[in-house]
């Protein structure tokens, strides 16, 4: 297996499995007031699987578009920054039980996804488009996060 494929698979699997392990749907979460338009809990796993798979594919396309001997650093930095912000959200929301802190973090996650969408265009237009579902989903999740904070008032009492 080639280096970009290994990196892409590791990135997607660590984020997918890590996010899943850090997302504890327990009594605390069930007791939160949530908007009527929130998708069912079972939908989040498949949605993230598809989104991270598309983003991993975008990485491979972008990597392969760089000429031999070219600099892969900008691509690696874009994915590394996104990795950090993506991985931070679930523990803030679910483990620490601070949707308000997760809401403060989500603009950084959103910006990192937008940076992927814009930055990958330099390497591959298709790769850039493969990130759009990720951007749409994080945008939706940000609105959902905001609504949960709004419906439940201050946290950390």
Mind listing the pLDDT tens digit for each residue in 3-38? Answer: 999 999 999 999 999 888 778 788 999 999 999 999
Mind listing the pLDDT tens digit for each residue in 38-63? Answer: 999 899 999 999 999 999 999 999 99
Q: Which fold has domain 3-152?
A: Ferritin (1.20.1260)
Q: Is the pTM of this model over 0.85?
A: yes
Whole-angstrom Cα Rg for the chain: 17
């Amino acid at each position: 297996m080639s280096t970009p494929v290994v990196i892409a698979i590791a990135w997607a699997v660590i984020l997918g499995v890590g996010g899943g392990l850090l997302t504890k749907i327990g009594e605390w979460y069930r007791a939160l007031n949530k908007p009527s338009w929130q998708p069912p809990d079972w939908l989040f796993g498949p949605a993230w699987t598809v989104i991270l798979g598309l983003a991993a594919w975008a990485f491979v396309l972008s990597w392969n578009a760089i000429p031999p001997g070219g600099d892969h650093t900008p691509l690696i930095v874009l994915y590394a920054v996104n990795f950090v912000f993506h991985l931070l959200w679930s523990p803030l929301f679910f483990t620490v039980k601070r949707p308000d802190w997760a809401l403060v973090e989500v603009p950084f996650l959103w910006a990192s996804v937008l940076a992927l969408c814009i930055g990958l265009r330099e390497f591959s237009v298709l790769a850039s488009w493969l990130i759009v579902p990720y951007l749409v989903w994080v945008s939706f999740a940000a609105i959902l996060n905001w609504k949960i904070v709004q419906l439940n008032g201050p946290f950390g009492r």
